[in-house]
Amino acid sequence: MDQVLPRYQAAGRPLHLHLDDTVANYTVPADADKLLSVLLNLLENALRHAPQAAAVQVALGPAPAGPGWQVAISNPVARSLGDLSRLTAAYYQADVLSEGAGLGLWLSSRILELHGSSLQLAESRGVFSAEFMLANIE
């Protein structure tokens, strides 16, 4: 979050991090550089596609079912995104006038698959969310 916070501040966009304070240590068996790429891509997408001044929420806590951690990034959307399965297709762009090659969510979903996870996208009541789970080290 430290890497994107200056861009959020420059855009006047609130960025909120919610860490479950009952967890003493968040440790996962992951390629740190690849996981950072996933997180940066999701945060950049939220910055690019959320309405002006809309807050972006990042939550990290225990997975709701079983051992591991859940990461959730959510933001309001100005209009419905329709069929969300298209968003993880290579070269697909929800907004053809925005920057990017349409590979970010596709690549993020492939990286998460290699980590034994999947990228779950949802939209409900004007809020878009991207979530994934990671196993923890015991």
Integer distance in angstroms from the first to the last C-alpha of the chain? Answer: 25
Residues with Cβ within 8 Å of residue 44, at least 6 apart in sequence? 4, 104
Q: Where are the domains of the chain?
A: 5-134
Q: What is the mean pLDDT of residues 81-89?
A: 74
When comparing pLDDT for 24 and 90, which is higher?
A: 24
Produce one character per residue of 53-91: b if its CB has 16 or more CB atoms within 10 Å, e if not. Answer: ebebbbbbbbbeeeeebbbbbbbbbeeeeeebeebbeee
**Which pTM does this prediction carry?**
0.85
Q: Are 134 and 73 in contact (CB under 8 A)?
A: no
Confidence (pLDDT) at 106: 86
Please name the fold of domain 5-134: Heat Shock Protein 90 (3.30.565)
Confidence (pLDDT) at 49: 84
| Residues 56-80: tens digit of each pLDDT | 999 999 888 778 889 999 999 877 7
Confidence (pLDDT) at 10: 93
When comparing pLDDT for 120 and 81, which is higher?
A: 120
Q: Are 114 and 6 in contact (CB under 8 A)?
A: no
Q: What is the mean pLDDT of residues 36-61?
A: 92
- Residue 117: both structure tokens together: 């996870």
Q: Give dist(CA 105, CA 93) in Å, integer.
A: 10
Confidence (pLDDT) at 65: 79
pLDDT band, very low/low/confident/very high, at 102 (cuts 50, 70, 90): low
